[in-house]
Amino acid sequence: MAQDTHVLDRPPEGASADWTIPQNWQAYTAEEHATWDRLYARQAKLLPGRASKAYLKGLDALRLSDSGIPNFEELSERLMKLTGWQVVAVPGLVPDDVFFDHMANRRFVAGNFIRRPDQLDYIQEPDVFHDVFGHVPLLTDPVFADYLEAYGRGGNRALELGALKQLGRLYWYTVEFGLIREDDGLRIYGAGIVSSSAESHFALESDSPNRIGFDLKRVMRTDYRIDDFQQNYFVIPSYDALLRATVETDFAPLYGEILGQPDIPIAEILPGDDVITRGTQDYAKGKAA
C-alpha cells in the first residue's frame, strides 16, 4: 500500500470500523489468478541477483510461488509464525491515521483487487500484486518487520507535528523504492521496484538515476515523483542501520529543523552527499523533451 492521499473520510459500506474488509478469496476468477501467475513468473525470473537476499528468502518462506493470488488467512498464518505480522484487506487507499495504526500493530494493509490483464505494467492504485508480492516478503525479516512497525508508530507522531510529507518521503525512498548494499553489490528491496519488471532493470542498471547513500535527514527533505521511474535511489548499508537510524532518532527536533529548510529538488546532488553513482538523468530529460 502506498502512503498517499485518500479519497474517503469514513469506511465504505461493508468495511469494518478499522477499514478492513474480507479478502473474499473465493470470488477471484480464473483469469484473475492467471494474472497473478503471469506477473509472478515474470518477476521470479528477474529477481535472483537483483533483489535483496532477505526479500528472496521471504518469497520462499511464504510460498508465494504457489499458483494463484495468495489467500490472506494462510499467508498471515505463515507470516505470524515468523515475525508476528498479518496481512489484512482494505478497499483501496485508507486514511493516514488508519494506515499508521494498522502498521504500528503489525498489520499490513493490502488491496484485494488485481489489475486487469491489459494493465500488467502500470496501475494507478496499488493492487494485490504490488501489495503482497512487493511488500510482504520483507516482512519475514525480523529487522525490517521492526522497522515497519516503528514507522507506523512514528506516523501518528508526524501527523501531530505537521510533518507527514517529510515522513512520507522516508517511506517512499525506503519501503517503496529502496536499494541496499549487499556483499556482492547493490540490490533492490523497495516494493515499487521488486513488483515492477521495468523498474527492476532501471533501478540497478540504468545510467540515468542518481544512487546516493541513505541519510535520514536528506531523504526527508527530498521530493519524489509518483508517476514514473525515480530519479534518485537511496542506498542503505543494512536493514539494521535503517532501523537504528529511525528508532535512535528523536524526530520532534529533527522535524523542527527540516521544516524550516527548503525541499531538495528531485534530481539534485548536494555537496555532502555520499554519491554512489551520479546519474545522467537522460531518461528524465528524454521524457521532458
Query: What does DSSP say about strands 210-213 and 232-236: parallel, antiparallel, or unpaired?
Result: parallel
Q: Choose between 11 and 126: whose C-beta lies nearer to Fe ion.
A: 126
> Is the separation of the CB atoms in 259 and 163 below 8 Å?
yes
Is 191 one of the binding residues for Fe ion (CB under 5 A)? yes
Q: From the CB of 248, what's the least distance to Fe ion, in Å? A: 25
- Binding-site residue total for Fe ion (CB under 5 A)? 3
Q: From the CB of 194, what's the least distance to Fe ion, in Å? A: 10
Q: Choose between 177 and 239: whose C-beta lies nearer to Fe ion.
A: 177
| Sign for the pseudo-dihedral over CA of 213, 276, 198, 227 | positive
Residue 108-137 contact track with Fe ion, rule CB under 5 A, x = bound = ------------------x-----------
Which segment (150-158, 185-193, 207-215, 216-224) binds Fe ion by CB under 5 A?
185-193
Q: Choose between 123 and 259: whose C-beta lies nearer to Fe ion.
A: 123
Q: From the CB of 24, what's the least distance to Fe ion, in Å? A: 21
Q: From the CB of 129, what's the least distance to Fe ion, in Å? A: 11
Is 103 one of the binding residues for Fe ion (CB under 5 A)? no
**Of 79, 183, 71, nearest in space to 135 by CA:** 79
Residues 6 or more apart whose CB falls under 8 angstroms from that of 220 comprise: 166, 167, 169, 170, 254, 258
142-161 and 239-247 are packed helices; what angle lies between their axes, rounded to 10 degrees?
A: 30
> Which set of grid coordinates corresponds to residue 206?
540504468
SS3 content of the chain, % helix, strand, coil (to 5): 50, 10, 40
Please, where are the H alpha helices in the chain?
A: 30-46, 53-61, 72-83, 96-104, 128, 142-161, 164-171, 191-194, 197-205, 216-220, 239-247, 251-258, 282-288
Which segment (1-9, 61-69, 73-81, 154-162) binds Fe ion by CB under 5 A?
1-9
Which amino acid would we find at residue 112? N
Is 2 one of the binding residues for Fe ion (CB under 5 A)? yes
> Which set of grid coordinates corresponds to residue 108?
499490513
Q: Report the first-to-last Cα separation within the chain, whole angstroms.
A: 32
Q: Choose between 98 and 191: whose C-beta lies nearer to Fe ion.
A: 191
Q: Choose between 233 and 255: whose C-beta lies nearer to Fe ion.
A: 233
Q: Choose between 164 and 254: whose C-beta lies nearer to Fe ion.
A: 164
Q: From the CB of 280, what's the least distance to Fe ion, in Å? A: 27
Residue 203-222 contact track with Fe ion, rule CB under 5 A, x = bound = --------------------
Which segment (149-157, 165-173, 184-192, 228-236) binds Fe ion by CB under 5 A?
184-192
Please, where are the H alpha helices in 62-131?
A: 72-83, 96-104, 128
Q: From the CB of 246, what's the least distance to Fe ion, in Å? A: 18
Binding site residues, Fe ion, CB under 5 A: 2, 126, 191
